[in-house]
Structure 1
Amino acid sequence: MKGPLVDPASVPDWLRPLVEISGKLDSTAFTRFTPPEDELTRAASVLILFGHGERGPDVLLLRRADTLGSHAGQVAFPGGGADPEDADAVATALREAEEETGVDPAGVRPVAILPELFIPVSKFAVTPVLAHWHAPSPVHAVDPGETAAVARVPLADLADPANRFQVRRPGTTYKGPAFTVNGLFVWGFTAGLLTVLLELGGWAREWDRGDVRDLDVALRDHLLATD
């Protein structure tokens, strides 16, 4: 299932374009990867939680603990693998978000489901769940062994050209968008998804796609600047 979960007219004007277009998208809008037919994947969900703070619309992000076995230290949306008790992808996203950030699900309204996306490095088939944070609650890193930091990041900061560039991994074919914002270094799956959502939601601004940096160097420079 993908597309709106609610009447688009019932969500705030700034979020409506994403809800309206959600049913018209397929995975190719976000990624070139598709699950190989002969390879097992694990179902997972992420919660893309949009609120409205003092500086306008924002999104909830977290930084994974440096000690984790996969995607260690990376910035991500709250989320994770499905449990047998989860009723559906929405239930998985809400449960994981509460476990990782302490967000109160009672204040969260799921509004749309995006196409399932495949992450080759972890073999996850991820369902992104868009939600409106109509009654924001305090959030924090619930378990330091899993989550290092939690932040509400204004979309205006993500769209700021000064915070955007591309990263590449020498010796590989990888090149993709990245952000340095609010003390966070965002790249990979999360940065790619945010890039498309900024465009679809009408928040994107022109930025220098010719600014391409080696990933290791950019990450090192970011860590030195934030120490």
Structure 2
Amino acid sequence: MGRVARADEPMNQHEQSLTPPTEELPVWLQPLDRALLDDARLQRSVALRPGIGGRAAAVLVLIGEGERGPEILFVERAATLRTHAGQIAFPGGANESTDLDLIATAVREAREEAGIDSSGVVPIGALPPAHVAVSGFDVTTVVAWWRHRGLIGPPDPREVASVVVVSVADLTDPANRGRVRHPSGYSGPGFEVAGHLIWGLTAHLLDGVLDLAGWQRPWDEQRRFDIPARYLTDISRGQGHDEH
């Protein structure tokens, strides 16, 4: 199992120290658990934007089992936020001094943004840090098993408009896959699900996790998605591009 370092440790944060789960992971999650030990594959997952020693942050990829198989939790950011307004993202944010490590950061943010019961979260590994140039953050992606769901919902609607749980079957459906191109020139993977477009850093990280888990299906990489205007609010406010 991979190890997540404290935020003040050297930048080898993909070499992490997670305590193994006290119960066996479900069979469908075990290939991902093993892949999170493969350093070469982990490095490829963030090769387009590797960490450079920026301010530490973390997001949580929380994977549970639903009626249609594995499913992943996302949050819809409030439309009134100054940056990334209305966008679909993994719960997450900056590391705080009170956080034990970046796992604690990711779980705390998921509790604050999505209302999860953290006792039902079992972290199993993480990706190496990915750098976000527009914010200066190095983002560590913590991957966790959603052992017990419990009630979910945004505690603060000023920050999160809704909590969205999407099946992996929908995320990997070729009909929902494509590539996006931002006015800044950025190009990357996109997912059309639940009436939303997942793109930017979230889509890159999601694509990497799906690959590690062996859940990818062939899709048309020539297909193009337009980024809805509601996701480009930073441009209209003169704050620079919103390549998150």
With the shorter chain as reference, the TM-score category is: 0.7 to 0.9
Name the CA distance, whole Å, in 1 between partners of 2:220 and 2:229.
18
Task: Specify whether residues 83 and 36 from structure 1 end up closer, same or farther in structure 2 by C-alpha distance, changes over 3 A only.
Answer: closer
Q: Which residue of 2 aligns with 1:149?
A: 162
> Contact 1:52/1:58 (CA < 8 Å) preserved in 2?
yes
2:31 aligned with 1:17: yes
> Contact 2:58/2:94 (CA < 8 Å) preserved in 1?
yes
**Within 5 Å, which residues of 2 pair with 1:78-117?**
78-117=91-130
Q: Which residue of 1 aligns with 2:222?
A: 210
Task: Give, in angstroms, the shift of residue 192 of structure 1.
Answer: 1.1
Task: Specify whether residues 9 and 135 from structure 1 end up closer, same or farther in structure 2 by C-alpha distance, changes over 3 A only.
Answer: closer
- TM-score under structure 1 length normalisation: 0.87
Task: Give, in angstroms, the shift of residue 138 of structure 1.
Answer: 1.3
> Contact 1:90/1:110 (CA < 8 Å) preserved in 2?
yes
Task: Specify whether residues 10 and 208 from structure 1 end up closer, same or farther in structure 2 by C-alpha distance, changes over 3 A only.
Answer: same
Name the CA distance, whole Å, in 1 between partners of 2:123 and 2:225.
36
2:180 aligned with 1:167: yes
* TM-align CA RMSD: 2.3
Q: Unmatched 5+ residue regions in structure 2? A: 5-14, 233-244
2:187 aligned with 1:187: no
- TM-score under structure 2 length normalisation: 0.81
Name the CA distance, whole Å, in 2 between partners of 1:10 and 1:175.
39
**Within 5 Å, which residues of 2 pair with 1:110-125?**
110-125=123-138
Q: Secondary structure at the match of 1:33?
A: coil
Task: Specify whether residues 68 and 15 from structure 1 end up closer, same or farther in structure 2 by C-alpha distance, changes over 3 A only.
Answer: same
> Contact 2:126/2:143 (CA < 8 Å) preserved in 1?
yes
Q: Secondary structure at the match of 1:17?
A: helix
List per-residue Cα deviations over 1:163-216 (Å, max 9, x = no partner). Answer: 11111124x331111111122221111111111221221111111100123434
2:213 aligned with 1:201: yes
Deviates more, 1:155-164 or 1:136-145: 136-145
Name the CA distance, whole Å, in 1 between partners of 2:108 and 2:61.
13
How many residue pairs get aligned? The number is 216
Q: Unmatched 5+ residue regions in structure 1? A: 221-227
Name the CA distance, whole Å, in 2 between partners of 1:54 and 1:139.
17
Q: Which residue of 1 aligns with 2:240?
A: none
Task: Specify whether residues 3 and 88 from structure 1 end up closer, same or farther in structure 2 by C-alpha distance, changes over 3 A only.
Answer: closer
> Contact 1:8/1:20 (CA < 8 Å) preserved in 2?
no
Deviates more, 1:71-80 or 1:155-164: 71-80
Task: Give, in angstroms, the shift of residue 3 of structure 1.
Answer: 5.4
Name the CA distance, whole Å, in 2 between partners of 1:97 and 1:54.
23
List per-residue Cα deviations over 1:31-80 (Å, max 9, x = no partner). Answer: 4224457xxx2211111100001111100001111222222221111111
